[in-house]
């Protein structure tokens, strides 16, 4: 019998249908992979199954009995835990407190029993393979990936019957992913049902028992993982068979755009040498914590250059702030779109236009019409799934928000485009679109620097790759010597 | 049609507008004098200085700041303007001097925030005290008489309409444009919405913030000399406690204290509502103690009216 | 005779003229309300209304609220003009009120000021009240006398820069400096009319100056100073001087911490001003002078017994 | 060693503590009386009511709220306590009555916020007016005499130490425990940090918020009766303008207006710094208007001192 069975789920937002009659079930001990393009409705469906949202139509049965999930709390009471796509830790509380929050253990005098709380946290962290995280640390001081692990630990510590994870691995290192997968398998073996949303097809294929694909709000495929291959899944998701593959560019790279020499920020980064020509796509690969984000920030003026020098287009560049960098023709798509990317109270058009307002009017004025036109342009070019330029950006799915941010960077017409994990949370179809865009931009003469944790992405996209480890640039590989094995090996230099 | 209707009710200033209409309708029945053009214009004039200063404050609050110093800046600028006019004998100097002093105070606030990274609440609380102290030192505590153009702006009328009301309306129109259709305005909203993202998008945070505080200061300086002009006297205690009125007007008008959202017409409606209340008390002869109670109730209702239909969990 | 005099009302000094034509006269009485000082003012206005009612005069008390400011006075007068009163009695207090008073007078509505007015001249018919500077001087004389020309005097003022508080303070200090240079003066310190601040300031003054012998509070909260003296066990050694016969103050006058209290006869001011306005409106009877000083009564513990 | 050292400088209240020490050291040289135990105890007493009320305010601000009504609640509670004591003839009633009235005001604020979703700034601004109005109406503007236990708490001493100081210190200790080691305290921090995430984690937001405002109200009520007890008189204007002092103490102490961060010891240091300043003015006999200027400068320095070494881009 199914642990959870949903029938005929329909849901719309403001008249736009998002889910169209979904039947979905999951059994105890089963790992179900949920796949689909950005905006296909995955998160929405899970929000409904966990009680966060109410369906317009349809029923949900838990262990054979019809349940009405009026709120997240109701779902939690029935043993359903949902780890959201967007992180929701409390940065000024400790890791231990974050894991227990909502039911902090009470000891003598009704005070919080810190010892017990820490032991619980330790146990939960160990279970999921995160031995390295100290429960006493403040959650705000953790890396993104570590924060994600803490969230998982929190959900697990509730010993849920059904655990739903929305892209849990998107900011984990390969190493962390391995530990995490081992844990997921153990958990399933103990009888917990697991729903796992991901855009990484290999992960889905290797971990899950069953794969469910949503497209445009409808369930289009439900098949056992055994015997399914990548190509089938891609076809299910996109309706297209072939996707982007690396195409070496014909012309030789152009003039030198960026030159970094012995650069450092006085703390983590030191002695970075790097150069980039127009028309080139250069990758930055490394383990989490290798300093890729820092390097991009250094080039972009968001971090102060303490040693060495940086030249842009042959002229020295010592930016005091990102504003200077933007003026000199740089643009950055940051990692962590919620915190550093979107303007949540602004509509899509304004989110697109904000980095280059000068281009949308004259004499300090801004034309809303031109902003909207730009949003429509990028909607076309990037395939953003949205109802219109005035739609709130927070109403978009995560991947579509990412596309808006890429649109924002492109709207500045940069000579040098810095991308930090540009396809984080982006579906495979859109990923392919984004790769096309990046290549096209390179062909038109821009230089592009892409930090990525996915070897596949680097191999698909880049002409060269710089591998970083512990704040140093270890080596630069060109197309001929680029391979997954070599990159990973270099990334572990000094570890 | 249905959409347009919803839209109207959804605008941020709907609630205060509703309250304003309610009070006005009530007054037009309760007092024969309320609808007299003269009285309505008085209300407009009484709202004008708070409204003007609240425009600058609104920008500050939208950018996630707060400017507690406006009341004292009103006093200091008025006094400085009046003293310079008296010493030089050139009455016309009072206006530019007041605006410049206000601007200087605003820049001081802005620099404390952007350079020394002092939280705006504390920085402007400090300035509140310092500016008031300087006003007292400059005057020795004595009011300075004031005449000339300042008096015209503060007390004059053009075709029966108070000049200060006209100024406020013109400024409000300018601010609607600034907030909605200029690069600077967009950047103010963006910074208030998400400072981190704004910085990475290439917005010069500190430069925008500095200008925001400078504008608030300058408007307070300008408002100060108009207020003093109205009274034909610049008192070092002028504007004492104004900050709460000004901030209340901004927030009544639907601007969010947590930044990124706000409405310029709402600010003016907020200022007018406060002036209307005071007018009502005088017209209806409400006793002082009940005035105090009523004011509190109306403030709560003005914002609470629409919350009854709003979604409960919306703003967690 | 056409102008037959009735008797002056109780507590007042001016009698109303007869109003044979039964001319209806509406007077707006604008005053604040934030502490006990204003109660006798309010009562005076009410008493004037009762007294003038049979004669055809109404006195409407209009509350300007509990925050004293020039703007409040200005909007009050604007409101009264909008309501077309025949005459206005007002407590203008601040300098900035002259312009609107002139505007009222120019539009044919006479104004009488009471209690306190700004230094800037206005076209008001008359001002009834205590001259703050003279009152300060009266207190200064009393202090010099009481302290025997020596000792330490602490000064607590309401708001720095408030005209009336300044005048009261300087009236006293100038007199003392001129006549008893041996008296050491501490302050002034601002208590924002708060008794609790006065309490703390006295505590601190006494700490730093064990020889403190007298405290002068120019405005609100003198009883806080008196309470501090009592709590310090210095009753009889340190005296407090201040204004207004409020019950609190009178209590400390009786128990000895307070040694002098100057009254402004606020009820009489209110009453007289209203009746004068009536006389002016009905019979065009001009007040006796442009300024009618009210001599304050300086109460001492002997009076409280 | 290096870490421990850094840690000390990194604590949120370091800046105000530094300023406090600086002022104290200066004073101990500049005035012979400053270090006298008696004077130090006086300073403690003078800080006690602001400190007490600031404890509640700190919780409110940490939970992303603000309570502007505390000044008026001080007045209303004191007056209500004194009237009940007078009418019943039972002096002892003044304390519980004041605390209950304060609690009721706090609950009113809390309900406006949690049930009607009125933004706390506006809700408590409304209550500020309403509570003051009711205090004035109850008394007709006349202070009510007060004696008995309230006077003991406000003006009494135990072994030479002011009772109100002892109460503040005990309350501060209790609040350190509440904030750091109770479920409620941690939930207050969590809510201020990220309300949405807290809701998802199963924290009953509204219930926590309601209690936070109730506590703030109750402390204001308690502070009010102590303040009135000190003067042996409950004035309806008691506590006028206190809100700014109280909020300033909280923020000086390192609590962030944007919620989620704060320090209880810092709050007390903030309150003491403000009392110390007033004490300094009197001890040193600083001339009138310079007092006002100095106050502003010290407030800015108290927060600005440490910002010089802080990383510039840190808090964008
Ligand atoms: N609160 C909302 N209001 C309006 N539209 C919404 C809201 N939430 C989601 N949507 C819309 O519903 C659709 C499905 O969104 P959902 O977040 O479920 O997608 P997803 O499959 O999880 O995508 P991703 O892979 O990018 O996370 C999208 O088109 C999105 O714009
Ligand atoms: N919040 C933090 N507190 C302490 N150290 C940090 C923090 N964030 C990053 N670091 C350190 O900074 C260095 C670089 O971290 P970062 O994660 O940004 O690198 P990265 O290569 O961009 O990795 P990724 O982008 O994949 O997360 C590492 O040494 C890391 O430990
Ligand atoms: Mg999603
Ligand atoms: Mg990174």
Q: Quick one: which of A74, A82, A76 has its CA closest to A45?
A: A82
Q: Which chains touch B (3 or more CB pairs under 8 A)?
A: A, C, D
Q: What is the residue-level pLDDT of chain B in tens, covering all 316 positions?
A: 333 333 444 456 777 888 888 889 998 888 888 888 888 888 898 899 999 999 999 999 999 999 999 999 999 999 999 999 999 999 999 999 999 999 999 999 999 999 988 889 889 999 999 999 999 999 988 889 888 899 899 888 898 899 999 999 999 999 999 998 899 999 999 999 999 999 999 999 999 999 999 999 999 999 999 999 988 889 888 998 889 889 989 988 888 888 888 889 999 999 999 888 888 887 887 877 888 888 888 888 887 766 654 444 344 4
Looking at chain D, the whole-number percentage of residues with pLDDT higher than 70 is 92
Tokens of A331: 């643009």
Looking at chain A, the whole-number percentage of residues with pLDDT higher than 90 is 24
**Whole-number Å distance between alpha carbons of C188 and C173:** 10
pLDDT of residue A58 exceeding 50, the answer is yes
Stated pTM of the model: 0.84
**Whole-number Å distance between alpha carbons of D145 and D135:** 14
**Whole-number Å distance between alpha carbons of D41 and A37:** 69
Is the CA virtual torsion C189, C190, C195, C201 positive or negative?
Answer: negative
Instruction: Give the mean model confidence (pLDDT) for residues A111-136.
Output: 89
- Beta partners for residue A333, in sequence order: A419
In a domain, B22, yes or no: no
Higher pLDDT, C95 or A410: A410
Looking at chain A, the whole-number percentage of residues with pLDDT higher than 70 is 96
Cβ distance B287 to C84 less than 8 Å, yes or no, reads no
| Secondary structure letter of residue A363 according to DSSP | T
B186–chain A nearest CA distance, Å: 7
pLDDT of residue D309 exceeding 70, the answer is no
Q: Do strands A447-452 and A416-420 pair parallel, antiparallel, or not at all (unpaired)?
A: parallel
The tens digit of pLDDT for each residue in C260-273 reads 999 888 899 999 99
3-state secondary structure at position C122: coil
Q: Which chains touch D (3 or more CB pairs under 8 A)?
A: A, B, C
Q: Chain D partners of C246 at a C-beta cutoff of 8 Å? A: 142-143
CATH of the domain at D116: 1.10.3470
Instruction: Give the mean model confidence (pLDDT) for residues A12-37.
Output: 87
Task: Please tell me the residue having the least CA distance from ligand 2 atom 6.
Answer: A143
**Whole-number Å distance between alpha carbons of A273 and D168:** 60
Residue D148 CB neighbour total at 10 angstroms? 17
Determine whether B1 is exposed, middle or buried from the number of CB atoms within 10 Å of its CB (0-12, 13-18, 19+). exposed
**Whole-number Å distance between alpha carbons of C200 and B220:** 34
Cβ distance B235 to C94 less than 8 Å, yes or no, reads yes
In a domain, B126, yes or no: yes
If DSSP states are collapsed to H, E and C, what string results for chain D?
A: CHHHHHHHHHCCCHHHHHHHHHHHHHHHHHCCCCCCHHHHHHHHHHHHHHHHHHHHHHHHHHCCCCCCCHHHHHHHHHHHHHHHHHHHCCHHHHHHHHHHHHHHHHHHHHHHHHCCCCCHHHHHHHHHHHHHHHHHHHHCCCCEECCCHHHHHHHCEECCEEHHHHHHHHHHHHHHHHHHHEHHHHHHHHHHHCHHHHHHCCCCHHHHHHHHHHHHHHHHHHHHHHHHHHHCEECCCCCCCHHHHHHHHHHHCCCCCCCCCCCHHHHHHHHHHHHHHHHHHHHHCCCHHHHHHHHHHHHHHHHHHHHHCCCCCCCC
**Whole-number Å distance between alpha carbons of B51 and B53:** 6
pLDDT of residue A10 exceeding 60, the answer is yes
CA gyration radius, chain D: 20
> Which residues does C134 contact at the CB level (< 8 Å), separation at least 6?
C171, C293
Higher pLDDT, A434 or D171: D171
Overall domain count for chain B: 1
CB distance A447 to A278 below 8 Å: yes
Burial B11-29 (b: 16+ CB within 10 A, else e): ebbbbbbbbbeebbeebee
pLDDT of residue B12: 65
The tens digit of pLDDT for each residue in C12-70 reads 888 888 888 888 999 999 998 877 788 889 899 999 999 999 988 999 998 887 778 88
Q: CA-nearest residue of chain B to A52?
A: B313
Residue C219 CB neighbour total at 10 angstroms? 24
Cβ distance D136 to B288 less than 8 Å, yes or no, reads yes
Q: Quick one: which of B261, B178, B246, B189 has its CA closest to B10?
A: B261
In a domain, D1, yes or no: no
CB distance A281 to A448 below 8 Å: yes
The tens digit of pLDDT for each residue in D243-263 reads 988 998 998 888 888 788 888
Instruction: Give the mean model confidence (pLDDT) for residues A259-280.
Output: 88
Instruction: Give the mean model confidence (pLDDT) for residues A178-206.
Output: 87
Residue B146 CB neighbour total at 10 angstroms? 30
**Whole-number Å distance between alpha carbons of C223 and A486:** 86
Cβ distance A112 to D202 less than 8 Å, yes or no, reads no
Q: CA-nearest residue of chain D to B312?
A: D117
Cβ distance B202 to A346 less than 8 Å, yes or no, reads no
In a domain, B66, yes or no: yes
| C 171-230: CB under 8 A from D | 186-190, 192-197, 199-201, 203-205, 207-208, 223-224, 227
Instruction: Give the mean model confidence (pLDDT) for residues D221-229.
Output: 94
CB distance C221 to C275 below 8 Å: no
**Whole-number Å distance between alpha carbons of B273 and C230:** 47
**Whole-number Å distance between alpha carbons of A94 and A38:** 33
pLDDT of residue D267: 92
CB distance A62 to A226 below 8 Å: no
**Whole-number Å distance between alpha carbons of D135 and D239:** 11
The tens digit of pLDDT for each residue in D105-153 reads 999 999 999 998 888 988 999 999 999 999 999 988 888 989 889 999 9
From the centroid of its chain, how far is CA C49?
Answer: 21
pLDDT of residue B316: 46
Q: Quick one: which of A308, A354, A301 has its CA closest to A325?
A: A301
Instruction: Give the mean model confidence (pLDDT) for residues A356-374.
Output: 85
In a domain, B12, yes or no: no
Task: Give the mean pLDDT of chain A.
Answer: 86
CB distance B61 to B214 below 8 Å: no
Backbone angles phi, psi at C230, to 5 degrees: -65, -45
Task: Please tell me the residue having the least CA distance from ligand 1 atom 8.
Answer: A395
Q: Do strands A307-312 and A256-264 pair parallel, antiparallel, or not at all (unpaired)?
A: antiparallel
Q: Chain A partners of B201 at a C-beta cutoff of 8 Å? A: 322, 326, 354-355, 408
Cβ distance A366 to B190 less than 8 Å, yes or no, reads no
Tell me, what's the ipTM?
0.81
Is the CA virtual torsion D197, D198, D204, D207 positive or negative?
Answer: negative
- The CA distances from residue B55 to A362, B170, B216, D148, in Å, are 24, 11, 8, 51
Q: Quick one: which of A358, A442, A449, A435 has its CA closest to A403?
A: A435
In a domain, D10, yes or no: no
Chains B and D touch (3+ CB pairs under 8 A): yes
CA gyration radius, chain C: 21
Q: Which atom of ligand 2 has the smallest separation from the CA of A335?
A: 25
pLDDT of residue D171 exceeding 60, the answer is yes
pLDDT of residue D9: 42
DSSP H helical ranges for chain B: 2-10, 14-30, 37-62, 70-88, 94-114, 120-139, 149-155, 163-181, 183-193, 195-200, 205-231, 242-252, 264-284, 288-304
Name the residue range of residue D263's domain: 36-315
The tens digit of pLDDT for each residue in B271-315 reads 999 888 888 887 887 877 888 888 888 888 887 766 654 444 344
In a domain, D74, yes or no: yes
D201–chain A nearest CA distance, Å: 5
The tens digit of pLDDT for each residue in D73-114 reads 999 999 999 999 999 999 999 999 999 999 999 999 999 999
Q: Chain C partners of D140 at a C-beta cutoff of 8 Å? A: 39
The number of the ligand nearest the C-alpha atom of A284 reads: 2
pLDDT band at D1 (very low <50, low <70, confident <90, very high): very low
> Which residues does A399 contact at the CB level (< 8 Å), separation at least 6?
A37, A38, A39, A199, A425, A426, A427, A430
pLDDT of residue A141: 84
In a domain, D201, yes or no: yes
CB distance A308 to A302 below 8 Å: no
Instruction: Give the mean model confidence (pLDDT) for residues C101-110.
Output: 92
């Amino acid at each position: 019998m199914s642990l959870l069975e949903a029938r005929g789920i329909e849901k719309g937002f403001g008249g736009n249908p998002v889910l169209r009659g979904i039947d979905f079930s999951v059994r105890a001990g089963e790992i179900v992979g949920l796949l689909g393009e950005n905006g296909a409705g995955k998160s929405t469906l899970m929000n409904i199954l966990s009680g966060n949202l109410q369906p317009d139509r349809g029923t949900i049965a838990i262990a054979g009995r019809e349940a009405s999930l009026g709120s997240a709390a109701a779902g939690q009471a029935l043993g359903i835990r949902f780890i959201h796509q967007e992180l929701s830790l409390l940065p000024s509380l400790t890791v231990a407190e974050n894991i227990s929050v909502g039911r902090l253990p009470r000891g003598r005098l009704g005070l919080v029993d810190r010892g017990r709380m820490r032991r619980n946290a330790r146990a939960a962290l160990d279970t999921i393979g995160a031995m390295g995280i100290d429960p006493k640390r403040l959650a705000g001081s953790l890396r993104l990936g570590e924060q994600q692990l803490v969230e998982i630990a929190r959900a697990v510590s509730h010993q849920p019957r059904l655990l739903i994870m929305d892209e849990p691995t998107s900011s984990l290192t390969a190493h962390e992913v391995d530990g995490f997968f081992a844990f997921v398998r153990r958990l399933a073996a103990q009888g917990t049902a697991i729903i796992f949303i991901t855009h990484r097809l290999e992960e889905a294929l290797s971990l899950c028992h069953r794969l469910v694909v949503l497209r445009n709000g409808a369930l289009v495929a439900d098949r056992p993982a055994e015997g399914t291959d990548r190509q089938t899944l891609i076809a299910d998701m996109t309706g297209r068979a072939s996707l982007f593959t690396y195409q070496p560019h014909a012309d030789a790279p152009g003039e030198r755009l960026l030159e970094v020499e012995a650069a450092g920020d006085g703390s983590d980064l030191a002695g970075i040498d790097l150069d980039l020509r127009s028309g080139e796509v250069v990758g930055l690969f490394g383990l989490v914590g290798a300093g890729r984000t820092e390097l991009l920030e250094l080039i972009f003026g968001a971090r102060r250059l303490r040693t060495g020098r940086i030249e842009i287009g042959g002229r020295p560049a010592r930016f005091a702030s990102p504003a200077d960098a933007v003026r000199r023709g740089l643009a950055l798509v940051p990692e962590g779109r919620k915190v550093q990317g979107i303007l949540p109270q602004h509509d899509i058009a304004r989110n697109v236009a904000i980095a280059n307002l000068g281009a949308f009017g004259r004499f300090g004025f801004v034309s809303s019409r031109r902003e909207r036109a730009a949003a429509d342009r990028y909607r076309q070019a990037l395939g953003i799934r949205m109802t219109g330029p005035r739609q709130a950006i927070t109403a978009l799915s995560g991947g579509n928000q990412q596309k808006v941010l890429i649109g924002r960077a492109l709207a500045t017409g940069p000579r040098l485009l810095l991308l930090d994990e540009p396809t984080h949370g982006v579906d495979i179809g859109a990923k392919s679109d984004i790769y096309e865009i990046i290549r096209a931009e390179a062909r038109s003469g821009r230089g592009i620097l892409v930090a990525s944790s996915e070897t596949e992405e680097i191999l698909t996209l880049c002409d060269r790759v710089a591998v970083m480890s512990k704040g140093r640039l270890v080596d630069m590989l060109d197309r001929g010597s680029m391979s997954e094995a070599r990159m990973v090996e270099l990334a572990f230099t000094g570890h | 049609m249905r959409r347009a209707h919803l839209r109207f009710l959804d605008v941020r200033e709907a609630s205060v507008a509703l309250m304003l209409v309610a009070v006005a309708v009530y007054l037009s029945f309760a007092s024969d004098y309320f609808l007299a053009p003269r009285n309505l214009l008085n209300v407009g004039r009484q709202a004008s200085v708070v409204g003007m200063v609240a425009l600058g404050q609104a920008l500050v609050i939208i950018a996630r700041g707060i400017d507690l110093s406006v009341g004292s800046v009103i006093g200091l600028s008025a006094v400085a303007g009046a003293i310079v006019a008296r010493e030089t004998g050139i009455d016309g100097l009072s206006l530019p001097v007041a605006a410049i002093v206000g601007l200087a105070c605003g820049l001081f606030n802005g620099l404390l925030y952007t350079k020394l990274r002092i939280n705006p609440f504390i920085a402007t609380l400090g300035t509140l005290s310092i500016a008031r102290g300087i006003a007292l030192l400059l005057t020795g505590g004595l009011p300075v008489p004031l005449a000339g153009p300042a008096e015209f702006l503060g007390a004059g009328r053009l075709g029966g309409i108070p000049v200060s009301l006209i100024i406020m309306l013109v400024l409000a129109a300018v601010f609607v444009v600034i907030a909605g259709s200029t690069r600077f305005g967009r950047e103010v909203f963006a910074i208030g919405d998400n400072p981190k993202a704004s910085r990475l998008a290439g917005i010069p945070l500190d430069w925008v913030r500095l200008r925001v505080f400078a504008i608030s200061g300058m408007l307070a300086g300008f408002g100060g000399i108009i207020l003093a002009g109205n009274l034909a006297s610049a008192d070092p205690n002028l504007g004492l406690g104004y900050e709460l009125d000004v901030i209340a007007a901004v927030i009544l008008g639907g601007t969010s204290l947590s930044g990124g959202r706000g409405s310029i017409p709402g600010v003016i409606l907020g200022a007018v509502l406060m002036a209307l209340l005071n007018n009502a008390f005088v017209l209806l002869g409400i006793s002082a103690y009940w005035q105090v109670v009523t004011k509190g109730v109306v403030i709560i209702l003005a914002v609470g009216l629409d919350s009854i239909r709003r979604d409960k969990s919306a703003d967690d | 005779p056409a102008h037959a005099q009735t008797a002056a009302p109780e507590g007042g000094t001016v009698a109303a003229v007869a109003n044979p034509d039964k001319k209806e006269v509406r007077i707006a009485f604008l005053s604040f309300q934030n502490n006990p000082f204003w109660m006798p003012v309010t009562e005076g206005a009410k008493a004037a209304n009762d007294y003038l009612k049979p004669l055809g005069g109404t006195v409407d008390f209009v509350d300007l609220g509990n925050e004293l400011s020039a703007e409040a006075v200005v909007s009050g007068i604007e409101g009264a003009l909008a309501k077309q009163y025949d005459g206005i009695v007002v407590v203008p207090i601040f300098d900035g009120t002259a312009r609107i008073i002139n505007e009222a007078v120019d539009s044919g509505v006479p104004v009488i000021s009471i209690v306190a007015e700004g230094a800037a001249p206005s076209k008001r018919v008359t001002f009834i009240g205590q001259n703050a500077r003279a009152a300060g001087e009266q207190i200064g004389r009393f202090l010099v006398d009481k302290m025997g020309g020596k000792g330490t005097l602490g000064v607590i003022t309401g708001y720095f820069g408030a005209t009336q508080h300044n005048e009261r303070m300087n009236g006293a200090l100038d007199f003392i400096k001129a006549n008893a240079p041996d008296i050491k003066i501490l302050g002034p310190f601002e208590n924002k009319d708060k008794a609790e601040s006065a309490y703390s300031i006295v505590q601190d003054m006494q700490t730093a100056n064990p020889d403190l012998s007298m405290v002068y509070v120019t405005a609100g909260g003198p009883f806080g100073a008196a309470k501090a003296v009592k709590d310090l066990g210095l009753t009889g050694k340190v005296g407090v001087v201040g204004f207004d016969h409020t019950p609190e103050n009178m209590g400390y006058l009786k128990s000895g911490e307070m040694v002098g209290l100057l009254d402004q006869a606020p009820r009489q001011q209110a009453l007289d001003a209203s009746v004068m306005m009536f006389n002016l409106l009905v019979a065009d009877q001009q007040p006796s002078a442009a300024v009618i000083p009210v001599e304050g009564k300086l109460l001492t513990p002997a009076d409280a017994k």
